[in-house]
Amino acid sequence: MSLPIVIIGAGLSGLLTGYRLKKLGFSITILEARARCGGRIHTVTSLDGTPMEMGATWFGPQHTKLKDLLKELEIPMFEQYNAGAVVFQASSQSPPQRIQIPPQDPSFRIKGGTVVLIQKLMSFFEPEEIQFNEKVREIHF
């Protein structure tokens, strides 16, 4: 029997660490200060069901570890459309501008939103293994 491991934070790093340790047979508990998992990854859904990213959105060819994880978890990705023009507004006081997208390397997104990765990782834990609204104030070894 192994000692229990406590992970602080249920963002991508905390969930992935817990997932990997659990696969090795460790007993884990994840403490999360918020009422949700994901950290910087936060996807909200519009009224018509469209996922909108409020945090981490796309990744590039250099993110090989993330792409390997998506393949391991059988999470589909797609290439982000990046040609043509976009509308950009620098501040609420400036008018929107139409800007031509310059040529660039491809970028990718997770089908269904980045939250799909968080939900998949969460599915490997029992409800009591992730404790929400738990703010860590001190750590004693």
Q: Say which residue, 86 or 135, is predicted with more confidence.
A: 135
> Which of 130, 126, 118, 136 is closest to 29 using CA atoms?
130
Nearest to 56 by CA among 12, 24, 103: 12
Nearest CA to 73 out of 123, 14, 125, 7 is that of 123
Alpha helices in the chain (DSSP H): 12-23, 64-72, 115-122
pLDDT tens figures, 71-120? 999 999 999 888 888 888 888 899 999 988 888 889 999 999 999 999 99
Beta bridge partners of 43: 53
Q: Is the pLDDT of residue 32 over 70?
A: yes
- The CATH number assigned to the domain with range 5-82+103-131 reads 3.50.50.60
- The overall average pLDDT reported for the chain is 93
Residue 98 host element (H or E): strand 97-100
Find the helix packing angle between 12-23 and 115-122, rounded to 10°: 30
